[in-house]
Amino acid sequence: MNRPKPKDMEAIAQTYSEHRRAILTLGGPLIASHLAQFAIHMTDTIMLGWYDVTALAAATIATTMYFVTFIMGAGFAFAVTPMVAAAAEEGDDVQVRRVTRMGLWLSIAYGLVFTVPMLLAEPILLAMGQDAQVAALAQDYLVIAGWQMVPALMVMTLKSYLAALEHTAIILWATIGTAVLNAGINYALIFGNLGAPELGIQGAAIASLIVTIATMVILFAYGLRTLPQYKLLQNVWKPDTEILARVFKLGWPIGLTSLAEGGLFSASAVMMGWIGPLDLAAHGIAIQLASLTFMVHIGFSQAATVRAGRALGRSDEISLRRGATMAIAMSACFAIATMAVFLLMPELLIKLFIDPAEPAKDTLLQIGVSLLAMAALFQVVDAAQVLALGLLRGVQDTTVPMIMATISYWIVGLPISYVLAFPLGMGGVGIWLGLVVGLTVAGILMMWRFWRQAVFINAA
């Protein structure tokens, strides 16, 4: 295929307005699907908060343990996006299938191994210094929800495949449908409504497992029917060592990068548990609200990955830079808006998660408001680091960002959290200030990497 020469690129490159429209067209359904996906977790948090504060604390630490394990394995799924996007831009249908198949292989293998710790959560949490009652309830949750590890990673791979091919509407509608399903099952099984048994935290776990399996079936069915040219299940059991190695090489740094960030927040939950169950419950509420806004930035980041991957496929450096500028600007505007919301109406947001009859309501509200103020501080830098990560993944640069993330979160952020919280006596606010510092360092380093150090596309 004859590609345009570098001197011809600017003449055919999209304008900033065209990039904005393209990012919204691709990213809008991704953002909405992430918000719908997060609604599932938000529903669990709200309903468990209404049911019992101790159950909320247990769900917070249980889902934290699950997430930190899951997000590392999701690195292989995330690697599928830029590789499929570049292959699709080059018109290589066979490569699209090979990459997706090996992404599924790696996701399934990882999931099978790391389901085991989910089934043994209680002794692990007790060894980490968690309250005995909280650890026991967390075990009740994970002994059921832990079985969703394999299907959940397969869902992530299928979402990456479909997003790279710009089939994002199905991701949105599947997620909305399963979010509604999750709310209905929670309503029945947590509280014992509609003739169902009252299962409390175990009811929330059953709902999560059912919803994950349903999502996997829907996405598989759509991919096979709507995109038959890629023959997704052809030779599905055939080893492909070359592509397996490439997906692994690109995916493991993504997984470790995600682990570094997710591990920081998981460690913060563990430290909040050292302070007390009420502080951990308030932390869970504040994390839910901060994570809700983060879903928008993840959507922008994934759109940036696809756009950058396609620019890589056609050796278009100008579009890469213009698209990156527009994605960063759009994400920054949203970050500033959410920062204002967190600072202006924290009590209203926190009260959504607390039963008005809860005896500890005032304490939870006081702790939650202070933590939400800290969350407001890191909105812009958190958006910056995830956008930079998405762009770097698009150009298949993942190893150096992994090192930057590890330094930022574990050598800078976590020690500061511990020192501020315990030796200096700042408690939960100190833990969250450490998060702010770690995210700030990561945002600065990764943006610098993308704009100054990354080896960008050179036209052939």
pLDDT tens digits along 88-120: 988 899 999 999 999 999 999 999 999 998 888
**Cβ(275)–Cβ(418) under 8 Å?**
no
> What pLDDT is recorded for position 273?
84
The verdict on residue 249 lying in a domain is yes
Query: What residues make up the domain containing 288?
Result: 17-453
Where do we find the tokens 């990764």? 446
Distance from C-alpha of 313 to C-alpha of 85, rounded to nearest angstrom? 8
> What pLDDT is recorded for position 52?
83
> What pLDDT is recorded for position 341?
93
The verdict on residue 7 lying in a domain is no
> What pLDDT is recorded for position 322?
87
The verdict on residue 459 lying in a domain is no
The verdict on residue 343 lying in a domain is yes
pLDDT tens-place string over residues 5-50:
444 444 456 778 888 888 888 888 888 887 877 777 778 777 887 8
Domain total in the chain? 1
DSSP state of 450: I
Distance from C-alpha of 50 to C-alpha of 48, rounded to nearest angstrom? 5
Distance from C-alpha of 212 to C-alpha of 204, rounded to nearest angstrom? 12
The verdict on residue 2 lying in a domain is no
> What pLDDT is recorded for position 13?
61
The verdict on residue 151 lying in a domain is yes
CA angle 231, 233, 237 (to 5 degrees): 135
Nearest alpha-carbon partner for 387 in 253, 289, 294, 255? 294
Cα end-to-end span (Å), the chain: 11
Nearest alpha-carbon partner for 14 in 394, 395, 322, 310? 322
**Cβ(145)–Cβ(208) under 8 Å?**
yes
The verdict on residue 460 lying in a domain is no
DSSP state of 130: -
Torsion, Cα 155 159 160 166, to 10 degrees, reads 170
**Cβ(389)–Cβ(74) under 8 Å?**
no
**Cβ(61)–Cβ(145) under 8 Å?**
no
> What pLDDT is recorded for position 4?
46
The verdict on residue 348 lying in a domain is yes
* pTM score: 0.77
Where do we find the tokens 């901060």? 290
> What pLDDT is recorded for position 215?
93
| Residue spans of the chain under pLDDT 70 | 1-13, 453-460
